[in-house]
Amino acid sequence: MAAVKSVWAIDIGNNSLKALRLRQAGENIEVIGLDYIEYPKILSVESITDEERNQIIRNSLGTFAKRNDLSKDPIAISVPGQTSFARFIKLPPVELKRVPEIVKFEAVQQIPFDINEVEWDWQLMPKKDSPDIEVGIFAIKNEIVGKYLENFSAENIRISVVQMAPIAMYNYAAFDRKDLDDADKNAIVLLDMGADNTNLVVCTKTSVWQRCIPIGGNNFTKIIAEVFKLGFEKAEKLKRGAPVSKYARQIFQAMKPVLTDVGTEVQRSLGYYSSSHKNTAFSKILLFGGGLKLQGLNKYIQQTTQIPAVRPDAFEKLVPAQNISSAKLHENICDFAITYGLGLQALNTAKIQSNLLPAKIARNMMWSQKSKFFIVAALILLAASILALLRTNIDLKAYTSTDAENKRKDTANILQMAKDTTNSLNEQQTRAAEYQKIIEKYTDNFKYRDIIPLLNETIFKTMPNAKNNTAQAELYEAYAKGDFEKIKQIPRNQRKQVFITSMSIDYANSLAAAQFEIGRPQRFSRDRGAGIGRGESELSASPATTGAGSSEQQDSKGFIVIIEGYTPYEKIGELMDPAGAGDDKQKWGVITRMLNLNQLFDVNSPFELFQKNKIEHFKFETGLVDLQDQQMPQGIGVNQTKTRVTLDESAASDSRKSTRTYSTRGQDADLVASEVVLVDPLTKEEISRTFDLDEKGRKKYDTFGQPLYIERDRWFRIKAKFIWKDTRGQQGQAPTGM
What is the percentage of the chain residues whose pLDDT exceeds 90? 42
Range in 106-110, 288-292, 340-344 with the lowest mean pLDDT: 288-292
Q: Are 319 and 28 in contact (CB under 8 A)?
A: yes
Q: Are 508 and 558 in contact (CB under 8 A)?
A: yes
Q: Are 164 and 78 in contact (CB under 8 A)?
A: yes
Q: What is the model's pLDDT at position 365?
A: 57
Compute the Cα dihedral for 399, 402, 404, 406 and give only its sign.
positive
Q: What is the model's pLDDT at position 2?
A: 54
Residue 538 has pLDDT above 80, yes or no: no
User: What is the DSSP annotation of 543-592?
Assistant: PPP--S---TTT---EEEEEEEEEES-S-HHHHHS-TT-TT-GGG--HHH
Between these two residues, 518 and 97, which has the higher pLDDT value?
97
Of 101, 84, 175, nearest to 135 by C-alpha is 101
pLDDT per residue as tens digits for the range 372-424: 667 788 888 888 888 888 888 887 777 777 787 788 888 888 998 998 899 88
pLDDT per residue as tens digits for the range 672-727: 889 999 999 999 999 999 999 998 889 999 999 999 999 999 999 999 999 998 77
Per-residue burial over 642-654, b = 16 or more CB atoms within 10 Å of its CB, e = otherwise: eebbebeeeeeee
pLDDT per residue as tens digits for the range 616-653: 999 999 999 999 999 999 999 999 999 988 866 445 44
pLDDT band at 3 (very low <50, low <70, confident <90, very high): low
pLDDT band at 339 (very low <50, low <70, confident <90, very high): very high
The pLDDT of 80-108, averaged and rounded, is 86
Q: What is the model's pLDDT at position 85?
A: 87
Q: Which residues pair with 607 in a beta bridge?
A: 724
What is the percentage of the chain residues whose pLDDT exceeds 70? 88
pLDDT band at 658 (very low <50, low <70, confident <90, very high): very low
Q: Output DSSP code: residue 291.
A: G
CA distance 471 to 495: 11
Q: What is the model's pLDDT at position 443?
A: 78
The reply to whether the predicted model has a pTM over 0.75 is no
Between these two residues, 553 and 207, which has the higher pLDDT value?
207
Coil, strand, or helix at residue 91?
A: strand
Residue 476 has pLDDT above 90, yes or no: yes
The pLDDT of 481-502, averaged and rounded, is 93
Contacts of 562 (CB under 8 A, 6+ apart): 502, 503, 504, 516, 518, 521, 717, 718, 719, 720
CA distance 104 to 100: 6
Between these two residues, 235 and 569, which has the higher pLDDT value?
569
CA distances in angstroms from 206 to 324, 402, 469, listed in the order given: 33, 76, 29
Angle at 340 between CA 336 and CA 342, to 5 degrees: 120
Crossing angle between the packed helical segments 142-154 and 50-67, to the nearest 10 degrees: 50
What are residue 328's phi and psi, to 5 degrees? -65, -40
Residue 247 has pLDDT above 60, yes or no: yes
pLDDT band at 370 (very low <50, low <70, confident <90, very high): low
pLDDT per residue as tens digits for the range 12-64: 988 889 999 999 998 999 999 999 999 888 887 777 888 999 999 999 999 99
Pairing verdict, β 75-79 and 161-164: parallel
Of 622, 629, 620, 648, nearest to 719 by C-alpha is 620
Mean pLDDT of the chain: 83
The pLDDT of 77-97, averaged and rounded, is 86
Cα 663 off chain centre by = 63
Angle at 471 between CA 465 and CA 472, to 5 degrees: 50
Q: What is the model's pLDDT at position 492?
A: 93
Of 287, 288, 261, 285, nearest to 273 by C-alpha is 285
* Upper half-sphere CA count for residue 264 (Cβ side, 13 Å): 8
Of 727, 728, 733, nearest to 451 by C-alpha is 727
Contacts of 176 (CB under 8 A, 6+ apart): 315, 316, 317, 318, 340
